[in-house]
Amino acid sequence: MPDTQALVNDFLNKLKKRKIEGSQATAKQTAELLRSVISQTRVPYTNQAGALIDSVKAVGERLIAANPVELAVGNIVRRVLHIIREEDLSLTTAAMAGLNLSAVSDDEDDTDRDDHPTLLEDVPDSAAVPHTSSSGGDSEGKSKSADKSSRSRKLKHDVIEAVNELIQDINTCHEQIAEQAVEHIHQKQFKNCAGISLCRKREEKIISGICCRGRSKVIVGAHAVMANGGVIAPVGLNMVALAAQKHAVPFVVLAGSHKLCPLYPHNPEVLLNELRSPSELLDFGEFSDLMDFGSGKGAPLLHVVNPTFDYVPPKLVSLFITDTGGHNPSYMYRLIADYYSADDLVVQRRPTSGN
């Protein structure tokens, strides 16, 4: 198995150099990397969940810093942290239920023995009570050690299984969204809206159909959905949303659950935008015509700003469609709360105590 540190460094380089395109691919590879980290983390007998959380946070903090604009990285890191907490809670609850059941069973056995005296009452105490040997104590200690080791393996196994399910959900999110098309796209709209069938293929593509006589919908993809229901979307979509509102056209946003971000746009940890090359908007020949060579400095007469994303406020969104179904913007904070823990909103390792 490849060394975890080598895998982490390789993925960090890809994030820094923007070699991974799309939130889905980024989310999937992040989950796969964290699965490897968890698999190779050695956990102690006590505070096993804490050890796994520290390992994931140590890696996750570096991944988020490598490409802060790709919010899917932080989303998956927080999802995995939430999975660890949930699986640990489940095992602890099951263990406590087992102890309570055992205690009740012991009480019932004692009651039965009191109600039904046995022939041992006539046997002398020295013969009736067996003597425990030191070997019995050793076996009991070994049993407890084995139980702890077994619980450690059980926690890691359950966490890895849950991460595998997360990866599967990421892989199939497009299909899950496409299956809901018949509920939101009617036959007449399908005939009249050019390009609307693209939503069956990729949620990333911007599909907009401005139809007449009320049979219109604007369906777009999103880069991320924030906790307040706001949308980080490709640049230009805020203008589309405003136009849809002006003409009373429903504005529908498609987003896989890996794009649901527990942070708010005003959080200092959130970097919402980055600037791209002006060459995407203007060819070099066109740009050279705007240079002021008369001044001798060749200073440009025009400054081109090419942001990557727009922010669409929740009041402009009519409906969110995720792989779990359709949701109103006001419900998004509750949906997001199901995927994340409040303790993991800021992914930062606990400071180590000095001597």
Model confidence band, residue 201 (pLDDT cutoffs 50, 70, 90): very low
Question: Is there a single domain that holds both residue 32 and residue 10?
Answer: yes
Higher pLDDT, 198 or 113: 113
Distance of CA 245 to the CA centre of its chain: 31
Question: Is there a single domain that holds both residue 137 and residue 10?
Answer: yes
Given a cut of 80, whether residue 109 has pLDDT beyond it is no
State how many domains the chain has: 2
Question: Is there a single domain that holds both residue 20 and residue 38?
Answer: yes
Question: Is there a single domain that holds both residue 125 and residue 152?
Answer: yes
Query: Which residues make Cβ contacts (< 8 Å) with residue 269, sequence separation at least 6?
Result: 68, 74, 263, 346
**Could you tell me whether strands 251-254 and 319-322 are parallel, antiparallel, or unpaired per DSSP bridges?**
parallel
Question: Is there a single domain that holds both residue 157 and residue 41?
Answer: yes
In a domain, 38, yes or no: yes
What are the distances in angstroms from CA 204 to CA 155, 223, 233, 275? 36, 8, 10, 20
Question: Is there a single domain that holds both residue 208 and residue 94?
Answer: no
In a domain, 73, yes or no: yes
Model pLDDT for residues 255-279, shown as the tens digit of each residue: 999 999 999 988 877 777 888 887 7
In a domain, 291, yes or no: no
Q: Which long-range contacts (CB under 8 A, 24 or more apart) does 45-50 make?
A: 45/145, 45/148, 45/149, 45/152, 48/88, 48/151, 48/152, 48/155, 48/156, 49/84, 49/85, 49/87, 49/88, 49/155
Model confidence band, residue 213 (pLDDT cutoffs 50, 70, 90): very low
In a domain, 131, yes or no: yes
- The predicted structure's pLDDT at residue 283: 75
Question: Is there a single domain that holds both residue 239 and residue 314?
Answer: yes
Model confidence band, residue 251 (pLDDT cutoffs 50, 70, 90): very high
Question: Is there a single domain that holds both residue 219 and residue 151?
Answer: no
- The predicted structure's pLDDT at residue 147: 54
Mean of all residue pLDDT scores within the chain: 79
Taking residues 134-153, report their average pLDDT.
55
In a domain, 302, yes or no: no
What percent of the chain is predicted at pLDDT more than 90? Answer: 51
Distance of CA 103 to the CA centre of its chain: 39
Q: Which of 149, 347, 141, 167 is nearest to 257 (CA)?
A: 167
- The predicted structure's pLDDT at residue 313: 96
Structural Rg of the chain based on CA atoms: 29
- Per the structure, the complete domain to which residue 328 belongs is given by 179-273+308-344
Distance of CA 274 to the CA centre of its chain: 22
Higher pLDDT, 320 or 105: 320
Distance of CA 318 to the CA centre of its chain: 24
Given a cut of 90, whether residue 318 has pLDDT beyond it is yes
In a domain, 288, yes or no: no
User: Which pair of structure tokens corresponds to residue 35?
Assistant: 């699965």
In a domain, 146, yes or no: yes
Whole-number Å distance between alpha carbons of 31 and 41: 15
Whole-number Å distance between alpha carbons of 181 and 74: 29
Model confidence band, residue 128 (pLDDT cutoffs 50, 70, 90): very low
Question: Is there a single domain that holds both residue 149 and residue 65?
Answer: yes
Q: 148, 172, 196 — which closes off a domain?
A: 172
Task: Residue 44: give its domain's CATH number.
Answer: 1.20.120.420
Taking residues 329-342, report their average pLDDT.
92
Question: Is there a single domain that holds both residue 191 and residue 54?
Answer: no
Taking residues 341-353, report their average pLDDT.
78
Question: Is there a single domain that holds both residue 146 and residue 194?
Answer: no
Q: Strand pairing partners for 1?
A: none
Whole-number Å distance between alpha carbons of 127 and 116: 20
